[in-house]
Amino acid sequence: MLSLIDLSDAVIQPACIAADICCEVRSVYRKKALNGQFTGVRSPYGYMKSPEDKVFKRISEERYSAMSASLDKEEMQLKERYNKINDNLSHYTQQSRSAQDFADLIEQYSPITELDAVLLNTLIEKIIIHEHTDEDGNKVMPIEIYYRFIGNVGTAAN
């Protein structure tokens, strides 16, 4: 039986990634819901007080300005992080779909006993053959194979 590629490298584990992203998203929403009233390492003054505390003169103007600036900065960082995580999730989802599409395509032709033109045209998007180079007295010609749906899996040398 002829094996074209090892699909274990191409298949992404979306469950782990989705769990991490869900945890991050919940953290963002939790901090947003608390409106800055939390304690912890990221809180510069221990317990962050609300805008009502400023109105009732429980904290100074300087302290309120510092806390407000800190919260604004953290909110921007959290938004950027949320957007980056969303982008990563969509990228991993697309990769997972592409790998599954390729696996389904290979399954149609399984078991592969002989490579013919129809099979190559179905499974391979393009093949790039580079100029040969001399390495230790041997001619080496790098070849890149781009499979449908998953792209370049590895580089082979002949």
Query: pLDDT by residue (tens digit) across 100-129?
Result: 888 888 787 777 778 788 888 888 888 888
Distance CA 75, CA 83 (A): 12
Q: Where are the beta strands (DSSP E) in 1-158?
A: 124-129, 133-135, 138-140, 142-147, 151-157
* Secondary structure of residue 145 in the 3-state scheme: strand
Amino acid (1-letter code) at residue 68? S
Q: What is the DSSP letter of 40?
A: S
| Between 52 and 158, the higher pLDDT residue | 52
At 52, is the pLDDT very low, low, confident or very high (cuts 50, 70, 90)?
low
Query: pLDDT by residue (tens digit) across 61-105?
Result: 777 788 888 888 989 999 999 999 989 999 988 888 888 888 888
Return the domain boundaries, the chain: 11-108, 113-158
Verdict on whether the full-model pTM lies above 0.75: no
Q: Residue 25: which of 96, 84, 106 has the closest Cα? A: 84
